[in-house]
């Protein structure tokens, strides 16, 4: 995550659970669900803190936590219209880097928009399923 990270307070149990999930060989993409303001983003920021400080399992050391800005992505998709290539580029770059944990906040916004944006959700899900990329997904409780 670029910029300054706020100090991480609380949520230690949830953070440990996220770390355990990410370290699995399969089913290693945590999905945090909750109302706005309950601390989902704070857990991911806590993960970034732990990675930076080196206090994570060996297979997480050196990883980068990168936020995929869904609102910006949807704008680019709507303005450029080159949906397939944009998605393929994102998935390819993240997959090839091998050291990126993608952080997707408010992913349900994708389902509230155009069918091409919904196709993005399909491609993202398919890449996660195949293990091409690894991500943490944050959702509001109600969709």
Q: Is residue 4 part of a domain?
A: no
Residue 1 domain-assigned (yes or no): no
- Please report, in tens digits, the pLDDT of each residue of the chain (143 residues total): 455 655 566 789 999 999 999 999 999 999 998 888 889 999 999 999 999 999 999 999 999 999 887 777 777 777 666 666 777 888 899 999 989 999 888 777 666 656 656 677 788 888 988 888 988 887 776 54
Considering the domain boundaries, does residue 18 fall inside one? yes
pLDDT of residue 24: 94
5's tokens: 């990270």
Read off the CATH number of the domain in which 102 is found.
3.40.50.300
Residue 23: domain span:
12-139
Considering the entire predicted model, what is its pTM?
0.80
Which of 95, 4, 112, 114 has the alpha carbon at shortest distance from 49? 4
Q: How many domains does the chain have?
A: 1
């Amino acid at each position: 995550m670029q910029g300054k990270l706020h100090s991480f307070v609380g949520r230690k149990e949830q953070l440990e659970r996220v770390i355990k999930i990410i370290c699995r060989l399969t089913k290693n993409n945590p999905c945090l669900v909750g109302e706005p303001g309950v601390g989902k983003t704070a857990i991911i920021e806590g993960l970034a803190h732990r990675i930076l400080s080196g206090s994570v399992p060996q297979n997480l050391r050196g990883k980068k936590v990168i936020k995929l800005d869904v609102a910006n992505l949807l704008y680019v998709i709507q303005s450029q219209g080159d949906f397939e290539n944009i998605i393929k580029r994102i998935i390819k770059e993240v997959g090839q880097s091998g050291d990126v944990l993608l952080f997707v906040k408010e992913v349900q916004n994708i389902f509230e928009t155009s069918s091409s944006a919904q196709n993005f959700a399909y491609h993202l899900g398919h890449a996660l399923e195949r293990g091409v990329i690894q991500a943490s997904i944050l959702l509001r409780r109600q969709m």
